[in-house]
Each structure stands twice: as structure tokens, then as C-alpha cells.
Amino acid sequence: MENIPTSALALSDAMTRGDVTAEAVMDATLARVAHINPTVNAIVSLQDRDTLMEQARAADAQPRKGWLHGIPVAVKDLAHAKGFPTSMGSPLFEGQIAPSDDLHIQRMRDAGAIVIGKTNTPEFGLGSNTFNPVFGATLNPYDTTRTCGGSSGGAAVALATGMVTIADGSDMMGSLRNPAAWANVYGMRPTVGVVPTEPKTDTFLQHLATNGPMARCPRDLAALLDTMAGADPRQPFSLSIPMTLPEIDADITGRKIGWLGDWGGAYPFEDGILDLCDKALGQLGDLGLHVDALQPPMSREAIWASWQGLRNFAIACGLSALFENMTTRERLKQTAQWEIENGLNLSAHDVHELSQLRSTWFSKAAALFDTYDVLALPSTQVWPFETSQEYPTEIAGHTMDTYHRWMEVVIPASLIGLPVVNIPIGFGKNGLPMGVQLIGPRGGDGRLLQIAQAWHTATDWPNARPPKL
């Protein structure tokens, strides 16, 4: 999109000044999608050109609604955008048209965004490899033989390749972090409750997943978070936090990072990942932060047991109706069936004990934040793998005992709903990107973004090394 800013905020400013029109932005966006998307398959269910150009011209004729006025966005295919299909990557829902927007999408539209299509995701968002039987696989723009991760894989690739300037995503088990790390962009899992979900069915028991923003710079990340965030009176655990963008340039000198590394040797990593992360932690030290290496604050197996059981429980609650119907069950992928079966086998007492482990970990993590502003972990344990491989079955000689154990490094934050930002940290000798998770205390979203902004000012990896397609 030549002569059109690639930052969403910069683009918004240019449109406010009248330097560029929504019509010109839409025309350039659709041209880029036509050029890039056939190679990577990140955007699906694209609206027809005539309709989108008409919407852009209408935006030019209207008073500006908000900072996203006239800016094209594509919505993750797990979320509802009115008038667009919500397949969730499943043939069971292929072609199902959403009658209304989910809450965070409505907030983006209220700020003026124009939805152009959806971004691809694994079936029901399960697994960090974006492929499904409806739309196929989304490919990594740094090596199109490899996966982009997931489940917000389409969003990350659309950002990395400049097809959109900001994107929404969601994260239960690293879905805003793994793909961001593997696409050299920023992804943020907010504190659970900051970006409310749609108040459907139960609003008390399930708090493992959240929606959140993705961007190529922390300023855009903060702006989109501020748009998506805000307590919803229909939801008992929704949470209000201060606006994050106005304070993003705060001085971070002297803040303390607790580096958890490989969790005392418990987490295996492919060669080169920890070395790259250690280098990034050294660079953060150069920016004025104090970095200490920490011993594991809780047993890896206790955290994993709690996570696996509660995840099984959550997925079974959401998908059990499809599982109980034999016609639809056989159309669910095997990993989904496995999750549901395990969840249905849990007793109420089992869930209570798993929640007690979760509560213990929250208390231990809270104690760490008495000393440290941020905890840090690698964003993923492996480099992007071949798209033909559904998931890694071993890491550095360690056999994985489930289809998702290879993503274990993301669950310490996920299990207890803490805010996390993936920051891109450069590339391995294999030419593939990697990231580090910066984890904050509950409600500490803004302070994380301040560190991410200082890092971006010093490195700017998304612009320093964009994909070449």
C-alpha cells in the first residue's frame, strides 16, 4: 500500500488530516489482498469489492466516528461479524451467517472500522496450527512450507504481510502469542475480563480464554485494546482498567523482570530458542530494566494437571452437544473429540480439585509480583514446523504425551488469566522469527505495553525484517 501508512494510528491520523481517503485505503487494501492472500491464505470469506468500495465511499461522506473510521479490518473466524459467515473452521458451521456482531467487534465498528472478511483459524480454534477442512491451511510468510501457528494464525499473517494494519484475535492456550511470535508481530492476551466476551450461557465458571488485539507496533496494540476493552454489566467478572495508550511512553527504567526461562529445565526447547531469548533479555537490561533468573515458583506438573483438566472441562461444556449427536460427532476432528471425552469424564469434585491447584498458582504468582513488575518466558518451545505435520510429537528428544503439550510454556499465564504481550525478538539461524512473553499482574496491561513500546522503539523488528513474498 504505497504512500499509505502501515501503522493503524498513523493511517487514522492521515485520514483525519485528509491526506488519504477511506476509498483509497480500501482500494489499496484489496489490491494487496489480491496480490498476497493467494500465497498465504490468511483472509477468508472476503466481502465483494463493490460492496466494500461503497462502504468506504460512505465513510468518506460521513463525520468521523472514531479512530478506526474507514480502516479495513478482518475478524477472526471464531468471532461473529454481522453479515459474514462464522465457520469456526468446521464443516458443521460452514456458511453460517452471523446475525449480529460479538461485543468486541461491535466496539470496533462503533469506532468506524470496516470489516472486509474473516481471518483463518484451526477448527474450533483447537491447536496452534491454522488449518481446517473448510478453508485449508494458512502458511507462514517467512517460509510458506511451515505453519503460522494458531489459533489466531490468519490474523498474524494478515498483519505481517501488510494486508491489514490491526487485527483481533483470541487466546486460550497461546493463540495470541504463538502466531505473533512466528509472524514477527505483537500479540496481546489481556487480563481476563478486560475484553468481555459475549454473555452466552454460563458467565461464571469458564475464564480460560479471552479476546485481544494484534498489531505491528505496541501503540496500535494499545489503541485497539482501549477500543475493545470496557466492563460489561451483564458479565460478573468483566474488568475496567485505565486507558493504555495515553501512558504508553512512560519511563520504564528500573523495572524488574523475573526470567523463568525453561522452568528450571522442565520445559524442553528446540535449539537456538533459549539463546535468542537470553539475548533479548540482555537487550531489555540495556534499556534500563533489571533482569533476574528465577527458579520455578510451582511444580510444572501441578500447573499442567490443572490446565489440562480445566481446559477439557471448558471444551466439553462448549461442544458436548455436537459430541452427543452421532451425526455431528463423526465430523469433529479427533483432538476435539479427545478433549470432550476427557471433560465429560470429570466429576464435580475433580473440577474443584483442579481449581484449587489453579488458585494455588495464582497466589504464588501474585507473591512474585511483590518483587517483579514482569515475569518472562519464551513464547513457544519450537520453531514453526512443516504444515504437513499436525503438531509436534517430540521436542529435543522429549516425547509429547498430548497433542498440545508442546505449547506448555504459555499456560502459566493462561491458567490464571494474567495479561501477556508477545514481543518479537528476532530470528534464528534458520531465518524464522521468535518471541518472548512479557507477563504482568492482573490489571497490569498498561505497564506491559509500556515495556513493549520501549522495546519496539529500540528494535522495531516488524519493519526491520518484514516477510518477502
Domains of the chain: 8-304+349-464 (3.90.1300.10)
Kind of pairing between the strands at 139-140 and 143-147: antiparallel
Candidate from 1-5, 317-321, 328-332 with smallest mean pLDDT: 1-5
At how many degrees (to 10) do helices 8-17 and 218-228 cross?
Answer: 80
Distances (CA, A) of 467 to 66, 134, 142, 176, 344: 31, 26, 5, 19, 43
DSSP letters of 3-67?
TS-SSHHHHHHHHHHTSS-HHHHHHHHHHHHHHHHHHH--EESPPPHHHHHHHHHHHHHS---ST
DSSP letters for 216-238 = SSHHHHHHHHHHH----TT-TT-
Residue at grid coordinates 480454534 = 125
pLDDT at 461 over 80: yes
Please, what's the largest Cα pairwise distance for the chain?
62
- The backbone torsions φ and ψ at residue 422, rounded to the nearest 5 degrees and listed phi first, read -80, 125
Mean per-residue pLDDT over the chain, rounded: 97
pLDDT at 2: 62
Cα atoms in the Cβ-side hemisphere of radius 13 Å centred on 269: 21
Amino acid making up residue 94:
E
For cell 516488524, name the residue: 462
CB atoms within 10 A of CB 10: 15
Q: Average pLDDT for residues 165-170, to the nearest whole number?
A: 98
Could you tell me where the DSSP H helices lie in 62-152? 103-110
The per-residue pLDDT for 140 is 98
Distance of CA 223 to the CA centre of its chain: 16
Q: Is 380 left (phi over 0), alpha (psi -120 to 50) or beta?
A: beta
Cα(379)–Cα(426) distance, integer angstroms: 12
Q: Are residues 211 and 170 in contact, defined by beta-carbon separation less than 8 angstroms?
A: yes
Reported as type and span, the H/E element at residue 440 is: none
CA atoms of 206 and 18, how far apart (whole Å):
45
pLDDT of residue 198: 84
- Three-state SS for 95? coil
Q: Which residue has cell 451467517?
A: 97
Write the pLDDT tens digit of every residue in 179-238.
999 999 999 999 999 999 888 878 898 889 999 999 999 999 999 999 999 999 999 999
Q: Cβ distance 381 to 270 under 8 Å?
A: yes
d(CA 45, CA 114): 14
Side-chain half-sphere CA neighbours of 220 within 13 A: 27
Does the global pTM surpass 0.95? yes
pLDDT over 70, % of the chain:
100
> Beta-strand (E) ranges in 133-204?
136-137, 139-140, 143-147, 166-171, 186-189
The residue-averaged pLDDT of 112-120 equals 98
Cβ(91)–Cβ(331) under 8 Å?
Answer: yes
Rounded Cα gap, residues 51 and 56, in angstroms: 9
**pLDDT score for 206:** 81
The pLDDT of residue 370 is: 98
**Residues 30-53: tens digit of each pLDDT:** 999 999 999 999 999 999 999 999
DSSP state, 240? -
What average pLDDT does range 338-354 have in this prediction?
97
CA dist list (Å): 289 to 154, 262, 426, 451, 457: 33, 21, 19, 9, 15
At 6 the pLDDT is 92
Whole-number Å distance between alpha carbons of 210 and 122: 16
Q: Distance between CA 258 and CA 260 in Å, rounded?
A: 6
Q: Name the residue among 302, 454, 268 with its Cα closest to residue 378.
A: 268
Residues forming beta bridges with residue 257, ordered by sequence position? 291, 374
Report the alpha-carbon distance of residue 37 to residue 44 in Å, rounded.
Answer: 9
State residue 201's pLDDT score: 78
Total Cβ atoms within 10 A of residue 204: 8
- Number of Cβ within 10 Å of residue 209's Cβ equals 22
Strands (E), 120-181: 131-132, 136-137, 139-140, 143-147, 166-171
Cβ atoms 361, 396 nearer than 8 A: no
